[in-house]
Amino acid sequence: MDYAREILKLKKEKDALILVHNYQSEEIQLIGDILGDSLDLSRKAKDSDKELIVFCGVSFMAESAKILSPEKTILHPVREARCPMADMISAEKVKILREEFPDAAFVAYINTNAETKTEVDVICTSANAVNIVRNLPQKQIVFLPDKNLGRFVAKQVPEKEIILFDGFCSVHEFLYVKELNETKEHHPNAIVLTHPEANENISNLSDHLFGTGGMINFVKNSDHKEFIIGTEEGLTDRLRREFPEKKFFALQPRIICENMKKIKLEDVYLSLLNLQYKVELSTEILEKAKAPLDRMLELSK
């Protein structure tokens, strides 16, 4: 079956919108209406007049879209497409940490499950984490779950005491200095752009640290012609497609988030055909998880 064609037909029939994260495989990127990072896509879901949204990304992203648009039907084509880093922390663990650090503000990266979000004070993205932490009145901050993003924030906001949770991204934690140095040797004029989820050694050797949206903007506005990309290869594919006049090299071969790649064209087709799998969250979770997202919007102004 020509799934891409069938998806476009079904999408029209059902008046749906297909949102695709930058780390999805190229075949999924090509059938998407909007490509972007997790927060950006959730906002687009909210702003769209479509009532039916297919979210191609990992589960916390589809949940975030549901939290921002509880009245819409949000479909997540493969339930098992989950973020291992988001699964490293839970609402229960946050409650325990709260007892240990009663005066701290709890800041959670958007890469957390909806239930975890219900227990924190504010959400952040890699793009606004520094501003959020800086603008909080508390001096002590518990930052979770990503220790690498937390360390990046701590360096920029030395006036705060940042307590790091020991979580990490199973893709960006395993980037290697040897591989980066070899890639740099082959492409000495390339600028190194790395995600702040990368481990400390890689971050220290990078020219700039950006989330996926930041990388795209940087490339767009830069006069440089060559870039070494230290993030999931879905983004590198997108950059090659959108900026054919520039050259992009992966920091190391096969930087792949297996969870992101669980969604195939057939899954998107079945998702639209059978309206599966609907993101369902209780009213209590929807309300409690929205509060720290709203706080993020307030504090990142």
Q: Is the CB of 155 or the CB of 174 nearer to ligand SF4?
A: 174
Distance between CA atoms of residues 110 and 36, nearest Å: 14
Distance between CA atoms of residues 149 and 141, nearest Å: 13
Distance between CA atoms of residues 40 and 32, nearest Å: 14
Q: Is the CB of 85 or the CB of 268 nearer to ligand SF4?
A: 85
Rounded to a whole number of angstroms, the minimum distance from the CB of residue 170 to ligand SF4 is 5
Rounded to a whole number of angstroms, the minimum distance from the CB of residue 48 to ligand SF4 is 23
Q: What's the CA dihedral at 18, 36, 279, 256 to 10 degrees?
A: 100
Q: Is the CB of 275 or the CB of 293 nearer to ligand SF4?
A: 293
Q: Is the CB of 171 or the CB of 285 nearer to ligand SF4?
A: 171
Distance between CA atoms of residues 70 and 27, nearest Å: 29
Distance between CA atoms of residues 147 and 164, nearest Å: 5
Distance between CA atoms of residues 271 and 76, nearest Å: 7
Rounded to a whole number of angstroms, the minimum distance from the CB of residue 258 to ligand SF4 is 8
β-pair partners for 16: 52
Q: Is the CB of 183 or the CB of 259 nearer to ligand SF4?
A: 259
Residues of this chain that bind ligand SF4 (CB under 6 A): 23, 58, 83-85, 111, 169-171, 197, 232, 257, 259-260
Nearest residue to 216 via CA among 236, 188, 232, 196: 236
Rounded to a whole number of angstroms, the minimum distance from the CB of residue 62 to ligand SF4 is 12
Rounded to a whole number of angstroms, the minimum distance from the CB of residue 179 to ligand SF4 is 17
Q: Is the CB of 121 or the CB of 197 nearer to ligand SF4?
A: 197
CA 95 to chain centre: 24
Rounded to a whole number of angstroms, the minimum distance from the CB of residue 185 to ligand SF4 is 26
